[in-house]
Structure 1
């Protein structure tokens, strides 16, 4: 498989949930995370090539960081074993400087 990641992904024991910034809909839970993307486990598969404005909530907070807001492109999505849950890979496409700093702090704690 052609792996084009520029940063390694890190599995996390933090509880990081992802929500659509506009609707508040829960998209899923982050399984692994890097400076340029993340893999998500969700109750229902997400659509390939869809773009989302996301709010990642971090529990417990890391250095007073409760959430990170970013734009992400869903590059791929696969159904889980029961065809209800799904796995999706996201590339971060929009991240303000202060949010990038918050993400770096969270990555240092993984």
Structure 2
């Protein structure tokens, strides 16, 4: 029976917390991300059809954080399958170049290329 994990798991909420850019208070965790939008997982529902000033704090190489500031509109918000959690979909209206770099890095990190695995 297989008992040892070959790929280490990483708990994303430990790294990808989302903050209110104006107050620097945490509002949730990044559930998924694309160039056009993101999904936020939070403990309260988000107001729909409202613009939010968001900040992603990405862990830096030397222990600090890199802030990525976004303006995004909440398109929908509903209760998650997990009790007391809500999923909310956002359309990103304004984002810096670093946001695109984050998406590229996440895709590369979570993608599995079977050709490279057999080499």
TM range (shorter): 0.7 to 0.9
**TM-score by structure 2 length?**
0.67
**TM-score by structure 1 length?**
0.72
Measured in 2, the distance between the counterparts of 1:30 and 1:82 equals: 15
Give the greater-gyration-radius structure (CA).
2
**Does residue 38 of structure 2 align to residue 41 of structure 1?**
no
1:34 Cα offset (Å): 0.9
Using CA pairs under 8 Å that are at least 6 residues apart, name the structure with larger relative contact order, 1 or 2: 1
| Gap regions ≥5 residues in structure 1 | 1-11
Provide runs of 4+ in structure 1 moved above 3 Å: none
Matches within 5 A, 1:71-86: 71-81=71-81, 84-86=84-86
Give the aligned CA root-mean-square deviation in angstroms: 2.3
**CA distances 1:41-81 after superposition (whole Å, capped 9, x unpaired):** 1011111112111111113x37x871210100000000124
| Gap regions ≥5 residues in structure 2 | 1-10, 107-119
**Does residue 104 of structure 2 align to residue 108 of structure 1?**
yes
Q: How many residues align?
A: 93
